[in-house]
Structure 1
């Protein structure tokens, strides 16, 4: 246990940080990994899933979109749960329902037993499982700044928040990249459900062992100590957030960036197979952008922490990242661009993904000392809504492929069907209009962020003031 003493014992308490903080961080990170593996794994092999469950591509889209839809009302519930019931209960509850979601998927298609359920029952079991995963998602997503603020000292806050935020990307990376290499035929879908059930088991056990309390016995910093003394009702807190200009900019822009990311990843396989790219290559592309994004997000967090230029770093990486994203989307409209797509995804992912951890930190700085999970939850609500709209609209923007593209598309590969017969469920579509919509969306996100954000650093300033001074200043400004 590490200790840090204040020079004024009467005014300032003794701060302590505990080694257990790393186990708490690991648990919450693993929770986000487990949730996002289960969420994305169906979309990463959409054709195989469509053939196995005997549903159309829109039926596969539902398996991704249902999580967004269910997550909308759960977002606000999640902040109440963290605030009233604490971190320990929230993590345990999220772990349990993620485990149950994985269990339902696994049992309904378990190798050797799948014949006990017809395909319609199996499919709706998968939908029910995705509903549970959708409920868990906002609970895990709202925790990065909460864990960082309550458990970590000032010099580790950005690192802790960044690790948990990027764990969400790591989960999507694993589900999107590994799945296509394992599930090469539709009859292998039961192994998909079995394989990705295992992380939820590990996470549940880790959570029960490591998260035995919601907060440490002693605060790790001045800013954390002040935040613990501020108690206002949810309604007043919500009003303060929704009248905070900088926070509203973050809700639209950071939420929009996450929504864009969710939409493009969930549709990537369908986008690429229509242009003749194999399933394994779309999985590789997903892995490249996400893995480079994890590295780039960590690098961006390091640069922002060392320089103290959080807002400036975020604006630069988003502007450059959006240019790369538009290039990537343009390349996805064409066939035979394997190397161009792969290289641009590596560069674009490295640059653009820094907005995720930096956006979380900017939210905390601009809403401090309000309960940190509330702001993150509202950003997630915006992300869920924007992602859901983009995915829902994608189907309406589809057009038929021209004859030259029909000759090379790989979406309707009959070898995916275990009977060797094309049931007519999977039909390749031209998604050019959807890609153009994505270009417009991410450009608007960038403009809102760059022009609208004029960040304040309230939490950072609190570390240089006495606790009583910071608390009285907040009360005089907001509660009197």
Structure 2
């Protein structure tokens, strides 16, 4: 291994002479075998211990072991030395794509589990002999389960993304097969299905909150948004598959069986993914993150965090509620379950395509703040427009608005998550990401309850709706319509809009200081002392 110290023109004379004599070689690349180590190294995700007596930290400077013996001191030592990047050897590893692919796969199946019954809510209610409100509670309970396990998720994800992924896989396996048992027993036992649904809901936060933590651990500043987008947007993609495919899978037991098989196949590879890279991918990744409790204190003292958290929670909550209720929104106006399912698929597929185009652009420009403001306007206007879309009884209005809503919502999601990590740096991404996702799931469940309560109380004549279709009138407020629920959705989405528009304004105290991107810029400005191999991609 090259001696990385003799080439630094700013090194102290004593250090330079020591390196020249060959008595000490500074190695900043930790051994891969130490990636599963304990203490601070485990929190940072890189192999080996932090520097001890005579050891050298990732920054390239000698650090006394007394400075790093305690987690808090270890983090402070990282802050003290975080500007010294001249000796650090950064690499990205091809194996990161294996872990990312598994994270994508699990986010797809966990969302598919969530919306198993929503696209066929009418058929599901008939099969279990319950009301559509009870079927809505399957989606609602799934989201509330996220909130209840949030503290455990933060702790697990802060330890290791791999541990979080494995926990999710186990819960998915249990939940899916319990749901299937509930659909087959005695012609369908709703309570057993609900229990299985709650278990799958408990699985969701362990993978849904993981993308920012995983991308921070494995990716550079020019790839984090795309990695976060790929893993995060896989979740609504799973919802799109549910909306599009489930109505064609036949009976309710068959739907649950097929989803259980898919979930089982998707969960098995989790035990084989790598836990952490042997070396950091970039300068900001080599900086020690705050321990768990200091991270929480740091985050709750950040005014911009509350703005992002509120905006994110409301818009994610409405997206979840809208996805769960789209069949009930359109069905009273004569739209078939297939047409409602296609509308949900348009919402998500157009969003995925748009996000795939926009995420690399934001990776290069880092124009997070401007993107958030523009996209929030489009999201709010889309919800407002959907108040009147079902009344047209035509395909274009709901499908076009669903496309705009999907494009803006999906493009907003990854940049909001990455901007949040930026403004709360060096707090652990596991903390901020899990908190705001929990807020989105909590509000999603609450919004479903509220919007269901605002539904027109008259029973839908299913036979007449199926026979008449969309083209036979029925008025602007047919039995079972959700007009008032859509008004509530549009009004709240519009009321929240001024908050993200105020981000970055110093007068309101919503400007943020130096963040993660600045650390990477400092490193680029200083250059890498070794130069050789810096930033290369290896296996």
TM-score of Structure 1 vs Structure 2, range by shorter chain: 0.7 to 0.9
Q: Does 1:196 align with 2:259?
A: yes
Any gaps of 5 or more consecutive residues in structure 1? 414-426, 470-480
Q: Give yes or no for the alignment of 1:224 onto 2:292.
A: no
Q: CA deviation at 1:316?
A: 0.9
**Where in structure 2 are there 5+ consecutive unaligned residues?**
9-25, 27-59, 61-83, 470-477, 505-509, 527-539
Q: Which runs of 4+ in 1 moved over 6 A?
A: none
Q: Distance in 1 between matches of 2:437 and 2:422?
A: 17
- Superposed, which structure 2 residues align to 1:457-468 within 5 Å? 458-465=515-522
**Pair 1:327 & 2:394 matched:** no
Query: What is the match of residue 238 of structure 2?
Result: 171
Can you list the C-alpha shifts for 1:192-229, whole angstroms capped at 9, x where unaligned?
A: 011111221122122122x242x111111110110xx2
Q: Name the CA shift for 1:402/1:218 in 2 (closer, same or farther; >3 Å).
A: closer
Other-structure match for 1:409: 465
* 2:498 is the counterpart of 1:437: no
Larger radius of gyration: 2
SS in 1 for 2:91: strand
> Secondary structure at the residue paired with 1:17?
strand
In structure 2, the residue matched to 1:346 is: 403
Per the normalisation by structure 1, the TM-score is: 0.84
1:109-149 residue CA offsets vs partner (Å, 9 max, x unmatched): 3xxxx3xx2246x2122101111111011111110111101
TM-score (norm 2): 0.76
Structure with greater helix share of residues? 1
- Give the alignment of 1:13-412 within 5 angstroms: 13-84=88-159, 86-109=160-183, 114=184, 117-119=185-187, 122-183=189-250, 188-209=251-272, 211-213=273-275, 215-226=276-287, 229-232=288-291, 234-332=292-390, 334-401=391-458, 409-410=465-466
- 1:298 shift after superposition: 2.3
Q: Indicate how the Cα distance of structure 1 residues 411 and 294 shifts in structure 2: closer, same or farther if over 3 A, else same.
A: farther
Deviation at 1:455, TM superposition (A): 5.3
How far did residue 189 of structure 1 move? Answer: 0.6
Report Cα offsets for 1:170-199 as digits up to 9, x if no partner: 11111111112334xxxx111101111122
User: Cα offset for 1:247?
Assistant: 0.8
Contact kept in structure 1, 2:144 and 2:445, CA below 8 Å = yes
State the number of aligned residues.
433
Once the two structures are TM-superposed, the CA of residue 107 in structure 1 deviates from its matched residue by 3.4
With CA pairs under 8 Å and 6+ residues apart, which has the higher RCO, 1 or 2?
1
Contact 1:273 1:428 in 2 (8 A): no
